[in-house]
Every structure is written in C-alpha cells, then in structure tokens.
Chains A and B, each alone.
Chain A
C-alpha cells in the first residue's frame, strides 16, 4: 500500500461519506465537502511532475489474487501522470461549477456526488493501474458511474434511454477488451503491462496477436466514441452539464485514447494497428465535424464536436505509431511528431472543450434553452460568458493565438508528413489524410462560428426565452474562466507543457525509441514561417467564412443527409430484435407447464449420469461381495415393488395414498434390516403422521374422495420415467461395487466417543459434527410450518363464493369439526396410551446420544401422541387442553439451538463447539451431560412445535 494507492481510494472514501454529509448538513452544499479530494489529488500529482520529468517512475503493488498474477499494481509514468492531472484538475473545477449549477434543495446531491466521486476514483484507477485486470475493473466502473450520472434525472425518459445506450455500448466494448487482455495473458503469461511490453517482440508472430489487438481496440473505440460506436455520446448529453463537461468531454471518453497510447508499445509497428487506428480516427473526425454542423442544440453540437476531436487525436496516435518501424533512425523522430501533436491536442481539447461545455451550461441555466434558433444577442448581457466562449470556439476552430491553433498546425504537419511514408501501399491513400483533415477543419471552423455567433451575436430575441437572461454568478463563471485563461496561456507559452508533461508522456508511448539519457525534442514554436500548414489554415478560414455565410442556404450543410437509415435506428432496431428474439426463444421452452420443466430436469439427469458412467466405465457387476439375502427380505422387497407399481393403477385417491403409505412402511422395515434403528424409528413415525395428513387433506374433500382417477397411460412419460429408473439402478450398482476414494465415515466411527462423548454415531453426527446443518434444517422446517399456517389463514372468502358454492360450505361444516371419532374405545385407550407415548418420547430424547433416539425422533413421537389425542377428542379439544402456542415453541427451540451454538464464543471456540462431562447423580447414577444435549433440546422443541403447527393448522381450517 502506498500513497498512490491511497490517492485512488480517496475519492471512494469521499463518495461513501457524501450521502451522510448531505443528510446532516442541509445548509451547506455537499459539493464543498467533496472539493478537497480532487484538489488534494491534483496537488499531489503536481508535486510528482519533477520526478517523472527526470524519467523516474513509481510502481507499488498490493497482492490481490496472486495465484493468477492479479495484483493491485499502480504505476506512475508520464502518460498516467498527464491523465491523473486532467482527471483531478478538471474534476476540481467541475465540482466548483456543479455547486452553483445544481440546486441544493431540488437535486439529490447525496447521490450525485457518490456517482461523481466514484467516477473520479475509477478513472484514476484506470490510468494508474499497471495490471490489466485491475485496469479492466476500474474501466467497467467508469461505465457504471457514467450510466448512473447520465440517468441522474431519472424521471426523464430520454435520460434513461441515453444511460442504457451508453452502458450497453461501452460495456460491450469493455468485455471485448477483457477478452483481448486474456489473449495477451495467454500469449505472455502475465497481466503486468510492463512485462507484456518487455515481451512484445516475441508475440508479434503469435496467431492470437491480431485478435487480441482487434478486441482491445474495440474497447478503446467504444469508450472513445469512435465511428460507428459514437452514437451513445450525443444521447449521453442528457446528463447534467457538469457531468458532460467532465466525463463526456474531458476525461472518460479519453480513456480509449489512453488505452491506445498505453498499448502502443505492444502493437505499434504493425501495419494493421497503424491502419485501423488512424483510419478510424480520421473517419470519426470528418463524420463528427460534419454532423456537428447540423445540430441546433448547443450541447448536441458539442457532443459531435467532441466525437470529431477524439477522432482527430485517435488518428494522430495511429499516425505516430509509424515511428515504431523506424526505431533508431532519424525518420522515427520525423513521424513521432504526430504522437506529440496528439498529446498536445489532448490537453488543449480538455481545456477548451471543458470551458465550452461549462459555457453552454451557463447559457442553458440563465436562459432556459440550448436551442440556437431561439438564442441570439447574448453578448451584451453576458459579456464574461461571451469572452470565454470566444476563446473556446476560436481555439477549437484553430485560430491564433490560442492553444488549439498550435495543435491544429501540428496536426497538419503530421498528415503532410505521412505522405512521405512509402510503405504499406501508402502512396495513393496517404494523400487522403491531408485532404480529409483539411475538409474536417473547415467544418470545425463553421460549427465553431455557429456556436459562438448564433448564441451571442445576431438579433436579440429574448421574448422567446423562458427566463430573462443575465450574467451568471461568479461561482459558475470561475471554472470556465480558469480554463479559458489556460487556453490563452498554453497558446502563447506552449513550452510550459513541452518538457514537463508532453515529453514524459511520449517517452511512455515510445519507450524503445530513445537511448537512455536522450529526450524527445518537444519544444513548440508558434511561427514556422510561410509553410504549407499556415496556408492550409488560411484556406480553412477563407472557405469556412464563405460557407458560414451560406450555411442556411446550402441544404447539405444543415439538413440530415440520410433520414431513413441511420446508425441510431440500427441500434434501436437491433435492440428491439434482440429483445424479441430472446423472448421468443425463452417462450419456446419456458412454457409454464410444470410437466415440461420436470421433463427437462429428468432428461438432463438421465443424460449426465449416463455419460458420466459411460466415461468412467464404473458399472461392474460383482456379485461375490454382495450381502446375502434371506427369504424374509425377499418377501419385503417383493411387497415394496408390488405396492409401488400398484400406485399408478389405483382407481381412487384413497387407494393411492394407502399404497404409498405401504411403500413407506416397507422402507421402514428395510431400515431395520440394514441396521439403522434411528431411521426406522423416524420413518415409522413420519409415515404415520404423513398418512394422517394425506387423509386430512384429501379424504375430507368430498369431491376428490369420490372422483375416479382417469388412468390414461402416457408413453412418453413412461419412457422418461423408465430411463430415470434404469439409470438409478445402474448408479446404485456402480456405487456399491466400487469406491474411487476413501470414505470419511471411518473418522466418525473412530472419533464419535472420543471427541463428542456419544455412542450413537448418527446422533453425534447430527448434533455435533454436522450441527450447523441440523441447525439450518430446523430453520427450514420452521419456515415450512409457518408457510402452512399462513396458507391456511389466507382469507379466500371472495373466491370461495365464486368457485365453491353452497355445497362446499355445508360439506366443510360436516367434515371439519376436526379430526374426530366417536369411538369410545379409542377415547379410553388413547388417554392411557398418550402418557406412555410421551414418556417414551422423553426416553428417546434423553438416551439419544448413546442409544437410538434423539431430538428428532423424540419430538416426532411426542407429536404422534398429540395427533392421537386430536383423533380421539378433536383438534379443538387439543387446543383447549394444551394451551401452548406451538409456533412460538418452534421459535424458542431455534433460539435455544442458536444460543447453544453462540455459547461457544464465550470460550473462544468456533460456532457450535460442544463440551461434555460426566456427573454422578443419586438415583440416576452415572450420567453424561453434554452441551450437545442442550442443542438437541432445541431441535426437540422446534420439531414438536413445527409438527403441531402443521397438524393443528390443517385441523383448524373450516
């Protein structure tokens, strides 16, 4: 853990505090509390500049998943420093701006600052991560926080649409990027970016090299809104303006550029990298600038302008990669100028575009509209805003003396230089670069002028505005003024940046190009003499001015080109189709029929088990080791099989229930034969109670009782059933004839008495070794019993009238005077027998640790006694005699079990550790006391409570 880690975590800490601060202090805007975070971070990174300038880099790692080489490694070099400064610097200004932009009474500021700070931390994480997996994690976090911020005004339909669109596109890219990273990992065996760069030369011939490159570029292009993935950015403008200024112009959309720059040392020098990056960039540049012309909404105009400028920087990074081929020669320094222009323009764009977004926000805030058809003449009422807008738009149009002029000149240099490249069939195509660049610059000039003059000059039409326009408050003006001032300063003194930031960044992008001690020449001159570039600029201004004048008259400049087929319609249609397709596919198998679902389950069971057995070839019939069978056992098996087979053929429901019960009792007999006394006891009682339940539920339903089953034989069902049966028989045979690993049962046999002091191993496993399972089991049972209670209690009156008719009601009166018999003999015997059963139940409970019995069995036995009581005297009577709330009883039981378990914490032992000891008691003699007993008491009470809740709930129903 280092200070660098803390810097990334700091925004997250602030984000966490945001909602609390918002609740506690409603008089002070939450933004003020958030502001220290970015300011501190900015200061910290500023103090790192001299060290990074000297070529020092910082790396510290915190292990995360060391086994697969994933670490939280942070790395600070020129490139990450540049981005970190942008993120924290513009972040500070945006927070100040947001304090005045967002009303503290009307907006959910607590959430807003969570999202914003979350984004800041994530973005810092992206640029400082040295490990690809951490980078990816932070990358997706920026997408998520962007989603949340775009949808901030979540009552607006368009916000939600825009948020979803940006999320779908950027996360799609993010996943592609992740698979690219994984391919890199497969080739190099490491997630560390620097280690991959060190091995870059070895992997260029690898067959996965190109796929990895394409996938990573997909991530970069979607994030940086490159054509044709740009469509999310205009819709993202639904976000509050401070967010647009921050995420969708200055920082997040530049993450793609960061990624391309970061990956350049790996991929640069590849023809496909050069072509894809620079061509995508230049196409995006011209497309974005052309679309920007046609917008009437100021923010939409800025959105397309951002797309186009991102394309410009992207193409420069692509052109700069040509330098990698000429490593070590003077030619490399010739092409590297493109990279330098790209970095410089990246800074400039953040500065002037940030300012312009804030200006548009001010205009929106003060006039109530962003539509240039309604605006005009604001110059006189908003002079400061106008001045900053002038600086911003002139800088964007590439006019001197602002910073945009310099980087635009350098851009022209780069595209002219590329014509010298005589590799990769460039001779013909390379001419296109300067041409497209020049045309796009003309478009840029025109929309910049439209933005400025349509808003601030022209005739005043204040009557069309919602508000009476006036100059914005100081707080709103301060951030854009700072950025505007920077645009001027960088324009006049560009060399402030050249060796402090640009040179270290270039060293990070082209690490192999220089020998140690060398530096890139990054000094920037304002005047080069009468070069081709300056004539190109003059041409831009001349043609641009003419076209600006003609803008309204030339249709191609302000009307949509294709109204039928657009990328947005493709996106919407694709999404709808996907939705419909997914629904259609799901509907095909999610039919709502339980039978179908069961068929899927059983078929899967058959197939998976059959395949597994086929592969492992484990079915061996080895009769010699089998236990012998007596005639008595043969009779039971026969009886079981016959009763089971008879169930489907039963003509009445009664018969089916009784046959199932028979099968249950046969199973009980098997438990006796197979030396499982606990099971036999339990099964017997459960079977008795269940059959009672069966009868309670169905016998008393008059219609059901009389109704005959329709016994149509279904072949398909039978085949599936037979399949399951055969597979299970084979499974039983293969499992009993071979064993692929040692059983853990021997441990229980050996240690049951030593460790837990109990001789009944089954009981010891239940209450001690696997006590936690038992604990959760009784919880599940309680839930089931409460569920039954609730079901019975549900008021069905309104429906009963419709379905039931009078017949039901009269019948119910007769039937459910409870479970009652008028048999005098039963009543008399029951009185005596119940006492015996209850005593037996207590015996079973107390002896359970050493002899057959225990909490479960004892409790079921007690419940059986109560059931008998209910049969003899009616359930109403039982409730009167035993005035215990059985639901509370089961809750108390769970509580006792839980307390026994937590009791072991007092002795610093893990949950449910048990202790035992022996005492000599008069009369009872040598007795064992174990805490497991207490736990079993909990089980006992719970099970009694549950069973009685169920029985009484059903008996009570009328």
Chain B
C-alpha cells in the first residue's frame, strides 16, 4: 500500500509543481491545492498506514494509528483553506482590475 501511495504522492507533486510553474493564476492556485493534498498524504504515509485503530481511545484497541500527523494535517487543511481563499480573491480582484490572469503580465517593473 505504501508503495502505491508513494507513487500517488509523486504524481500529485509532479502535477502540482507543473501547474504552479504555469502562467495562468487559476492553474497556479489549483497547483497549490494539489501540492497540499500531496503533503497531507505524505505526512500520513510517513508514519505507516493502517497500523491500528483510529486514534480514539473509546475504541479500546491494542494499537492506534499515529495521531500526530493527523493533528498536523487537520491544522494544515484549515490553514490552506484560508490561504487558498485569500489567493482566489486576490486573483479574482487582480483580474477585475488588470484584465488578465497571466502571471508574466503581472510582473512588477523597476522601482515599482
């Protein structure tokens, strides 16, 4: 399972980076979303998969999966939601104001 997950993570990162490097603001934002997914799965995979029950002590299981990456990911999900929203609105407003979402055209000039 870990092997296939690792490959999936690789695909998420490849596509995410490729999108981030493109010109369109929308694609960049989508790229960051995919990168976030990649990171989340990476964190989970790092601590081995399915090693026990869900980290709820009420289940009275012998072993539980690692709760730490889950706490990290939970924080990350919410934060990335906030950041992505901000990014969106920024892109949307930039488009409204400048009429383009091409990042190369949004480049700053000297002493700007």
A704-B22 contact in complex given A664-B37, A748-B67, A788-B85, C-beta closer than 8 Å: no
Q: Does A614 contact B (CB under 8 A)?
A: no
Q: Does A447 contact B (CB under 8 A)?
A: no
Cβ contact of B96, chosen from A663, A784, A804, A850, cutoff 8 A? A804
Contact status A656-B58, CB under 8 Å: no
How far apart are B4's CB and chain A's nearest CB, in angstroms?
5
Give chain A residues whose Cβ lies under 8 Å from the Cβ of B11.
640-641, 644-645, 725
Give chain B residues whose Cβ lies under 8 Å from the Cβ of A598.
20-21
Q: Does A1 contact B (CB under 8 A)?
A: no
How far apart are A719's CB and chain B's nearest CB, in angstroms?
10
Docked CA distance A694–B15 (Å): 19
Contact status B78-A682, CB under 8 Å: yes
How far apart are B95's CB and chain A's nearest CB, in angstroms?
7
Within 8 A of B (CB), among A634-693: 634, 637, 640-641, 644-645, 647-648, 653, 656-657, 660, 663-664, 667, 670-671, 673-679, 682-683, 686, 689-690, 693
How far apart are B106's CB and chain A's nearest CB, in angstroms?
8
Contact status B7-A729, CB under 8 Å: yes
Q: Does A749 contact B (CB under 8 A)?
A: yes
Contact status A682-B21, CB under 8 Å: no
Give chain B residues whose Cβ lies under 8 Å from the Cβ of A722.
14
Contact status B78-A676, CB under 8 Å: no
Task: Give 1 or 0 for each of A920-958: 1 = CB within 8 Å of chain B CB.
Answer: 000000000000000000000001001000100110000
Docked CA distance A593–B104 (Å): 6
How far apart are B59's CB and chain A's nearest CB, in angstroms?
9
Q: Does A384 contact B (CB under 8 A)?
A: no
Docked CA distance A773–B71 (Å): 11
Q: Does A743 contact B (CB under 8 A)?
A: yes
Task: Give 1 or 0 for each of A735-763: 1 = CB within 8 Å of chain B CB.
Answer: 11100000111001100110000011110
How far apart are B97's CB and chain A's nearest CB, in angstroms?
5
Contact status A627-B2, CB under 8 Å: yes
Contact status B74-A682, CB under 8 Å: yes
Within 8 A of A (CB), among B1-48: 1-24, 26-28, 30, 33-34, 37-38, 40-42, 44-48
Contact status A728-B83, CB under 8 Å: no
Docked CA distance A32–B61 (Å): 79
How far apart are B29's CB and chain A's nearest CB, in angstroms?
8
Q: Does A535 contact B (CB under 8 A)?
A: no
Give chain A residues whose Cβ lies under 8 Å from the Cβ of B77.
679, 682-683, 686
Give chain B residues whose Cβ lies under 8 Å from the Cβ of A633.
1
Give chain A residues whose Cβ lies under 8 Å from the Cβ of B92.
697-698, 701, 954
Give chain B residues whose Cβ lies under 8 Å from the Cβ of A943.
78
Contact status A676-B57, CB under 8 Å: no
Cβ contact of A629, chosen from B4, B21, B107, cutoff 8 A? B4
Task: Give 1 or 0 for each of A265-292: 1 = CB within 8 Å of chain B CB.
Answer: 0000000000000000000000000000
Cβ contact of A745, chosen from B8, B44, B68, B81, cutoff 8 A? B68
Contact status A765-B71, CB under 8 Å: yes
Contact status B54-A718, CB under 8 Å: no
Cβ contact of A595, chosen from B4, B37, B91, B103, cutoff 8 A? B103
Give chain A residues whose Cβ lies under 8 Å from the Cβ of B66.
743, 745
Q: Does A731 contact B (CB under 8 A)?
A: yes
Contact status A720-B2, CB under 8 Å: no
Contact status B26-A656, CB under 8 Å: yes
Cβ contact of B14, chosen from A625, A724, A774, A788, cutoff 8 A? A724
Contact status A792-B89, CB under 8 Å: yes
Docked CA distance A640–B20 (Å): 19
Q: Does A529 contact B (CB under 8 A)?
A: no
A59-67, A236-244, A566-574, A795-803: which lies at the B interface?
Answer: A795-803
Give chain B residues whose Cβ lies under 8 Å from the Cβ of A677.
54, 56
Contact status A946-B82, CB under 8 Å: yes
How far apart are B45's CB and chain A's nearest CB, in angstroms?
5
Cβ contact of B18, chosen from A648, A656, A676, A731, cutoff 8 A? A648
Q: Does A521 contact B (CB under 8 A)?
A: no
How far apart are B80's CB and chain A's nearest CB, in angstroms?
8
Cβ contact of B30, chosen from A660, A701, A762, cutoff 8 A? A660
Task: Give 1 or 0 for each of A495-518: 1 = CB within 8 Å of chain B CB.
Answer: 000000000000000000000000
How far apart are A856's CB and chain B's nearest CB, in angstroms?
6
Cβ contact of B2, chosen from A675, A732, A744, A774, cutoff 8 A? A732
Docked CA distance A704–B29 (Å): 15
Docked CA distance A799–B37 (Å): 37
Within 8 A of B (CB), among A100-150: none
Contact status A736-B68, CB under 8 Å: no
Contact status B82-A721, CB under 8 Å: no
How far apart are B15's CB and chain A's nearest CB, in angstroms?
5
Contact status B74-A679, CB under 8 Å: yes
A800-B17 contact in complex given A667-B37, A761-B57, C-beta closer than 8 Å: no
Give chain A residues whose Cβ lies under 8 Å from the Cβ of B2.
626-627, 732-733, 736-737
Contact status A729-B56, CB under 8 Å: no
A698-B26 contact in complex given A749-B64, A759-B57, A781-B82, C-beta closer than 8 Å: yes
A628-B74 contact in complex given A697-B89, A701-B95, A728-B13, C-beta closer than 8 Å: no
A599-B21 contact in complex given A629-B4, A656-B26, A732-B45, C-beta closer than 8 Å: yes
A664-B33 contact in complex given A686-B78, A781-B82, C-beta closer than 8 Å: yes
Contact status A735-B46, CB under 8 Å: yes
Give chain B residues whose Cβ lies under 8 Å from the Cβ of A856.
74, 78
Give chain B residues whose Cβ lies under 8 Å from the Cβ of A781.
78-79, 82
Contact status B81-A721, CB under 8 Å: no
How far apart are A669's CB and chain B's nearest CB, in angstroms?
11
Within 8 A of A (CB), among B60-112: 64-68, 70-71, 73-75, 77-79, 81-86, 88-93, 95-99, 101, 103-104, 107-109
How far apart are A648's CB and chain B's nearest CB, in angstroms?
6
Q: Does A851 contact B (CB under 8 A)?
A: yes
Contact status B14-A761, CB under 8 Å: no
Q: Does A623 contact B (CB under 8 A)?
A: yes
Contact status A623-B70, CB under 8 Å: no
Contact status A752-B82, CB under 8 Å: no
Q: Does A536 contact B (CB under 8 A)?
A: no
Contact status A954-B89, CB under 8 Å: yes
Give chain A residues whose Cβ lies under 8 Å from the Cβ of B24.
709
A721-B56 contact in complex given A637-B4, A675-B65, C-beta closer than 8 Å: no
Docked CA distance A660–B17 (Å): 14
Give chain A residues whose Cβ lies under 8 Å from the Cβ of B67.
745, 748-749, 752, 761-762, 765
Q: Does A88 contact B (CB under 8 A)?
A: no
How far apart are B48's CB and chain A's nearest CB, in angstroms?
6
Cβ contact of B17, chosen from A623, A721, A773, cutoff 8 A? A721
Task: Give 1 or 0 for each of A831-853: 1 = CB within 8 Å of chain B CB.
Answer: 00000000000000000001110
Give chain B residues whose Cβ lies under 8 Å from the Cβ of A678.
70, 74
Closest 10 CB pairs of A and B: A725-B14, A729-B10, A721-B18, A721-B17, A759-B57, A675-B54, A761-B67, A765-B71, A784-B82, A732-B6
Q: What is the interface of chain A, defined by CB distance below 8 A to chain B?
A: 592-595, 598-599, 602, 621, 623, 625-629, 633-634, 637, 640-641, 644-645, 647-648, 653, 656-657, 660, 663-664, 667, 670-671, 673-679, 682-683, 686, 689-690, 693-694, 697-698, 701, 704, 709, 714, 717-718, 720-722, 724-726, 728-733, 735-737, 743-745, 748-749, 752-753, 759-762, 765-766, 770, 773-774, 777, 780-781, 784-785, 787-788, 791-792, 794, 796, 799-800, 803-804, 808, 850-852, 856, 860, 943, 946, 950, 953-954
Could you show 13 A-B contacts with beta carbons less than 8 Å apart?
A627-B51, A637-B4, A640-B8, A670-B44, A674-B50, A720-B21, A730-B6, A732-B10, A749-B67, A759-B56, A761-B56, A761-B64, A762-B55
> Given known contacts A653-B26, A682-B77, what 7 new A-B pairs fall within 8 Å (CB)?
A640-B11, A656-B26, A674-B49, A745-B68, A749-B64, A762-B74, A850-B58
